Amino acid sequence: MRDIKVYTNLFDGGLHNGQLKWTSYIQPGRAGVDVEWLYTGDETGPDGAEAYIAHFRPGSHGDLHEHLGYEVLLILEGELHNDNGDRYPAGTLFVEQPTSVHQVSSP
């Protein structure tokens, strides 16, 4: 058996053509974020990784938080702001190391 997820044209309208099934990401201190889960902690185990495609709606944010593992972000459209003043436009990929502390928002 082969179980595979394929997403096409993410840089060319694929975020909004119905292939992603956005669900609200409910988490304390987070507002205005929807996700398409790629895999969850339920699938990878209590210490396993999670991955999702996130949509930060205008004005969305997360509270200041620490990551216990790596975080990889690829900005597909729009811009993401970090609490240290960094701004990440579409096409930016950044990697946060374990124990990184940050707060991100979408203008």
Tens digit of each residue's pLDDT (9 = 90 or more) over 6-30 = 999 998 888 999 999 999 999 898 9
**What pLDDT is stored for residue 75 in this prediction?**
93
**What pLDDT is stored for residue 1 in this prediction?**
85
Beta bridge partner(s), residue 36: 53
**What pLDDT is stored for residue 12 in this prediction?**
87
Contact between residue 89 and residue 79 where contact means Cβ atoms under 8 Å apart: yes
At 52, the amino acid letter reads Y
**What pLDDT is stored for residue 54 in this prediction?**
93
Tell me how far apart the alpha carbons of residues 88 and 65 are, in angstroms, rounded to a whole number.
18
Residue ranges of alpha helices (H) inside 16-80 are 41-44
Residues of the chain with confidence (pLDDT) below 70: none
